[in-house]
Chain A
């Protein structure tokens, strides 16, 4: 699905999001947490880009930075041809109609003092000049679209189950007919049976409205189900980005290999014979990333050069991007890929 012919809806270039650390009596700046440290990717119109990685690797921060919910440290974000990396509040406010977000915790992301109609209608109040009646009609349409009973319009978020709350959050994100929606772990707070419903709802809506998703998750199986291309993040950087089937069949980066080998195997025979790559140690602090490659402290295939030079993030095969020294030597990318154990 990720054909290069489709237009690029989102272009992120060298995005950096550093949070300052203040300490001491005078609250002087003693360092910074490099939550997102130079991330580049494109998202094509109509596709779903999965963004995976372990807790604390900067997935959510990356998503929020792309929507400009934070002030970027540096980098450029173009959405639908408009640069929003340094846009002022007015331009940003106009762009909010194009890009929306579904949040992780449906309980926390809905104002407990507003009714469902108030929550779904808020974007309409902010951006559309609609009569009260038109707005009410639109709210009902949205509730139908996400499978909420219209009779629930006057109720409050605490009266709903987790899955229904997430539907409210999705309806709010859809209200302005956006082109691009960031799903920030929309299923992580739901139980498994509801997860499938919400993911299927997201897929149906994508088909119906031609949406483009950035799907942030730590659930590799779910990403495999929904994403067209997958980006793997480690410690604020993208380690590998590739089409879904390629990355699951043949991961290139040692971190992706380790991550995929950690997916539980339901077949007991395969489970016992499976070769797992178990990473040792903890993720280094994003306030003090290691010299050279970010992954060099835990990489099973670490080399000398990894401790000195940060590997370049580059295209090693058509559509496949990796930041690893294993693929940076003289041999061509295809040869390396062929020599790699899958």
Chain B
């Protein structure tokens, strides 16, 4: 036996420099500046991610639409200078005209101006609430999955939040804190913070559960043990090895979260728990327009399209990001 092994001809590297192309060129996008066998300079992972993201047509379209909507609601007030609150009773219930491209509502307020103003609020609420619920959900999920001691407590807390009846809870929170927050931050910022907080705090549970499950699985993989044998401490273990590998479910909950947040905000406004009734948001416009659905259906369509396009574009961006962040899919 011993002799047979010692005589093995293939003693030494199985892939010398002369076989640099054993792995098909192009397996890593942009990583092919190595033709001559000279080592490529260390390249940031984010360039690979961007290269892959660019090849995802849906994601690029989604990013484009999302940027247009975002720029539209941010820069819109400078381009379209009609005050969204201005009442022009003689022009009420007008259809799309040159003066009012999206028409006017029953009080003669310009729908385009209200869409722009409402978009600012809805997008801000959607993104902030999504980020909040994402951070809370991921933190709870990772801590529960990684540290066995916290698992019981945190998951029972998650169950508790899932079991809470949402509407009475919202009523109580808003009754208790609305006036105080208004006094401190002013009526609009106060209610904005309150709504973001309420939506964030009631929508993190799904993310937490999914992330916990994935962390439990990843924690048992051998590369985590390998990192432990190197002496990587727990926090860097989580950020370097665990989180990048649970990115996919987090991405999916994030993109779905924006949609849920925008819709929950409109439901709250409809119930009179959200922003004041004269303060436009996309959800508010939608609910106001339902009364006139038969006479003026276009009033429902505008905010409906805006919400759907935002949600859809964010979903596509999330899809592309998820693919781009996974090196195994990259380059296909």
Contact = CB atoms under 8 A, between A and B. Distances in A.
Dominant secondary structure of chain B at its interface with chain A: loop
Interface string A218-248: 0001101100000000000000000000000
B244 to A, nearest CB: 4
Interface residues of A, number: 59
A96 B221 CA distance: 20
B241 A103 contact: no
A97 B225 CA distance: 16
A156 B328 contact: yes
A154 B15 contact: no
B14 A147 contact: yes
Interface string A131-154: 010001000100000111111111
Interface stretch (B20-28, B136-144, B202-210): B20-28
Contacts of B22: 161
Contact of B221 (A67, A108, A160): A108
B47 to A, nearest CB: 10
A57 interface: no
Given A159-B28, A160-B23, A197-B11, A151 B225 contact: no
A308 interface: no
A104 B226 CA distance: 11
Interface stretch (B101-109, B227-235, B288-296, B312-320): B227-235
B27 A92 contact: no
Interface of B: 1-2, 5-6, 8, 10-17, 19-20, 22-23, 27-28, 31, 34, 37-40, 42-43, 45, 221-223, 225-233, 236, 240-241, 244-245, 325-328
Given A111-B241, A194-B14, 6 more contacts: A114-B240, A147-B13, A150-B39, A154-B31, A172-B226, A196-B5
29 contacts: A93-B231, A96-B229, A96-B231, A97-B231, A109-B223, A109-B225, A111-B227, A111-B241, A113-B245, A122-B227, A122-B230, A126-B231, A126-B232, A126-B236, A147-B13, A147-B15, A149-B16, A149-B19, A151-B17, A151-B20, A151-B37, A155-B31, A159-B23, A161-B14, A161-B22, A164-B14, A169-B226, A196-B10, A222-B5
